[in-house]
Each structure stands twice: as C-alpha cells, then as structure tokens.
C-alpha cells in the first residue's frame, strides 16, 4: 500500500528545493573569494605550524578589506583594471598617468563596478545585472483571475513563490570609446510559481523573459563616486499565446550614480509602437496573433523607472519606482537584505502597484515575500 503526503506537506517539498537551490547557487566564486584563497594559501605555506586556520582566515579577510578601501589599493586596482581592459595600443605610461590623476582627485570605481570589470573575462563567473533572488513564500493580496478565466485555467491562489535570475555578459573585451566602457548582453527571467497549489499540479503560472543589449560607460563627471550612462534596446514578454500573450519592445537611456554604499539610477524609455489587432467582431473566434497584445501598457507601467540602493553596515535597502503621472498609475517595490550564511543573504520584499508581471500589467498587486538573495545591487 502506497502512502501519500498530505497536500500541505507535499507542497513544502518544492518550496524546500528553492531554498536548497539558492544554497547551491551561492557557490559561484567571486573575485573576492579568489583573492582570499590566494592570501590563505600563502599564509598556510608560510605559517603552517604557528597559526590556526581561523586566525589566518580572519587576518586575510581584514587585510583584503583594508586594501580595497585604501588609497594605494584603489591605485593598484585602477592599474590592474585599465591594464586588462585598455586597447592594446595604449601605453603603460598613459595608464599610470590616468590612475594617478584619479588617485589625486579622490575618484575611484565603486567596489561593485570594479569587481564586475575584474571578473568579466573569467569563464567560471556569471556577472549579475539586476538582483538575483528566490522567495519561496509570498502572499498576494488580490490575485488577477481575469486572464485565466478567459481561457478556462484554474484560479490563482494567494500564496506562491517568486524568483528572479538576472545576468549579463560582455560583448566587447577592451575599451571602445572611453575607459571602462563596453557593450553587454543582459537577460532577466522573473517567474511566479503556484508551488502551494498541489491540487492543480503546482504550475508556473507566469514567467517573464527580458533580453536586452546595451552600451555602458562611466561619464567624465568629477565626483567621488562614478556617474554611469547606459543606452540600450530590450524586449520583454511572457512567452504565451493568444489571450494570455503580453509583450513590448523598448529603447532606453539610463543615468546612474554609484558610490561604495549607495546607488541611484533613472531609466526613461520609449516604447516602439505596434499595429492594432484586427477584430472580426465575432466573440466566438479569438483575436489574430498579429498586432499589439497590450496597447495601453504605458498607462500602467509609465515612461520611466527609478531604482536605488543604500547599504548600512551589513544591511542593504533597495527600491524601485515607476509612474505615469498623467494616469496616476505606477508601482513601488522595496526590499531589505541581511547576512544569512556565507555569501547568501536573507531578503524581504514588498510590491504595490501595476506591472509586477506582464500578465498583471493592468492589475494592481500588493505582495509581500521572504526568501534568499543571491546577488544584491551594491
């Protein structure tokens, strides 16, 4: 006789797999980890009999932290990054001159920016674009049932999991027009999983795909942090057909400021227009696949996005704001992350507004969730 798990217990199993997956993904190696390994290896070799591993590791962590925030540390980092990414024809003397000028002015690349530049050519490291997180439990106050009712799908439950994976890869490997600029391909996947709906096989009810290509460069503005400009093209859709299909294509320009403990970026966009769907007037036949699936999406998503982050000690606060001032619609998302274990961080998120997902672009959501953050903004 085969026994079955109760529905509630059964639904906890896939939720637990999300947490274990996050633990496994925390194993991606960073430039800091590689530097720490070198330091620990040298210390063990030179002090094998006189020090404990705990003492060695603590000493190396403190040494790396001190070096990364010292004037000499910034200078050496500048030499290394410029030497790797500069055009081969550039002279070493000019790189020294540029880095000395930055050192004298107090200007340096923020740690997140410089770490990305150091690791871009490493085939074993994936660079994040936006936040990467897994929220095994979220509660949605008012699920949008209308699209699913139209196609006869099961109703959406309030409790579900939410996850986002966002990466970027360089398409250029030397400076193009200015120091530390480059062309990148980015891809963000955001998914909503009805993991607690075991009676309907716990489906992924909505997944959004967001590929983009952009050019990014530090701007020549004299400041302690770094001003960054970005120009790009992106597509976003949910990969569905007919009545559940949602998509749009945009061009955007971004202006951001990055310091070591805070960052802010404003990104206005232009939506490329699409032809209207041609309805034959027969309610028994679906709309044709060609044409705009969501002609009023900007009424709810607005024309810009403002994102920001602030780090206080080991806690990081993040936020997102969108608005169409003419229609009075938009969205606010706030999050807080905190140390959990190793490089994994706990993460709590709250969303209020339109456009959390493509299928909900014109439905106002309120959601709160808790989970694990793999990479933060700073």
User: Tokens for 85?
Assistant: 């990414």
Among 59, 68, 107, 237, the active-site one is 237
Cα-only R_g, the chain: 24
Query: Is position 105 annotated as part of the catalytic site?
Result: no
User: Tokens for 350?
Assistant: 């709250």
Which DSSP string corresponds to 105-146? Answer: HT----HHHHHHHHHTT-TT-PEESS-EEEEEEEEESS---H
Reading the chain (378 residues) residue by residue, the pLDDT tens digits are: 434 444 444 454 454 545 444 444 443 444 445 577 778 888 787 775 677 888 888 888 777 766 555 556 667 767 776 677 677 777 888 778 777 776 666 566 677 777 777 777 778 888 999 999 999 999 999 999 988 887 777 788 999 999 999 999 999 988 899 888 999 999 999 999 999 998 888 999 999 999 999 999 999 887 778 899 999 999 999 998 878 899 999 999 999 999 889 999 999 999 999 988 777 666 666 666 778 989 999 999 999 999 999 999 999 999 999 999 999 999 999 999 999 988 899 999 999 999 999 999 999 999 999 999 999 998
Among 235, 245, 303, 363, the active-site one is 235
Please give the Cα distance from 57 to 52 (Å, whole number): 9
**CATH 2.40.230.10 domain extents, the chain:** 126-375
- Beta pairing partners, 266: 255, 306
DSSP structure class, residue 272: P
- On whether the CB atoms of residues 321 and 329 are closer than 8 A, the answer is no
Fold of 126-375: Outer membrane phospholipase (ompla); Chain C (2.40.230)
Query: Is position 237 annotated as part of the catalytic site?
Result: yes
- On whether the CB atoms of residues 61 and 44 are closer than 8 A, the answer is no
């Amino acid at each position: 006789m085969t026994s079955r798990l109760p529905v509630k217990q059964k639904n906890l199993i896939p939720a637990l797999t999300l947490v274990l997956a996050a633990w496994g993904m925390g194993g991606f190696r960073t430039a800091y980890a590689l530097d720490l390994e070198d330091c620990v290896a040298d210390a063990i070799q030179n002090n094998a009999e006189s020090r404990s591993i705990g003492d060695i590791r603590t000493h190396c962590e403190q040494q790396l932290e001190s070096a990364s925030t010292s004037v000499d540390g910034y200078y050496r980092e500048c030499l290394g990054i410029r030497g790797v990414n500069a055009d081969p024809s550039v002279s070493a003397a000019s790189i020294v001159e540029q880095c000395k000028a930055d050192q004298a002015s107090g200007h340096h690349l923020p740690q997140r920016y410089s770490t990305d530049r150091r690791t871009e050519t490493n085939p074993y490291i994936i660079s994040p674009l936006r936040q990467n997180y897994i929220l095994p439990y979220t509660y949605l106050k008012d699920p949008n049932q209308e699209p699913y009712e139209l196609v006869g799908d099961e109703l959406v439950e309030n409790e579900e999991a939410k996850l986002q994976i966002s990466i970027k890869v360089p398409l250029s490997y030397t400076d193009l027009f200015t120091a530390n600029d480059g062309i990148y391909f980015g891809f963000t996947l955001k998914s909503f999983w009805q993991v607690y709906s075991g009676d309907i096989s716990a489906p992924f009810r909505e997944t959004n795909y967001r590929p983009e290509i952009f050019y990014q460069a530090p701007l020549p503005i004299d400041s302690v942090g770094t001003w960054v400009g970005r120009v790009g093209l992106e597509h976003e859709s949910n990969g569905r057909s007919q009545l559940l299909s949602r998509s749009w294509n945009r061009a955007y320009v971004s202006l951001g400021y990055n310091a070591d403990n805070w960052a802010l970026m404003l990104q206005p966009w232009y939506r490329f227009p699409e032809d209207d769907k041609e309805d034959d007037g027969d309610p028994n036949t679906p709309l044709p696949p060609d044409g705009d699936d969501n002609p009023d999406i900007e009424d709810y998503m607005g024309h810009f996005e403002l994102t920001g982050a602030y780090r206080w000690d080991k806690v990081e606060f993040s936020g997102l704001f969108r608005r169409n001032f003419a229609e009075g619609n938009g969205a606010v998302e706030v999050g807080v992350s905190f140390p959990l274990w190793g490089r994994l961080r706990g993460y709590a998120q709250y969303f209020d507004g339109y456009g959390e997902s493509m299928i909900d672009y014109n439905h106002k959501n309120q959601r709160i969730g808790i989970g694990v953050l793999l990479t933060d903004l700073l």
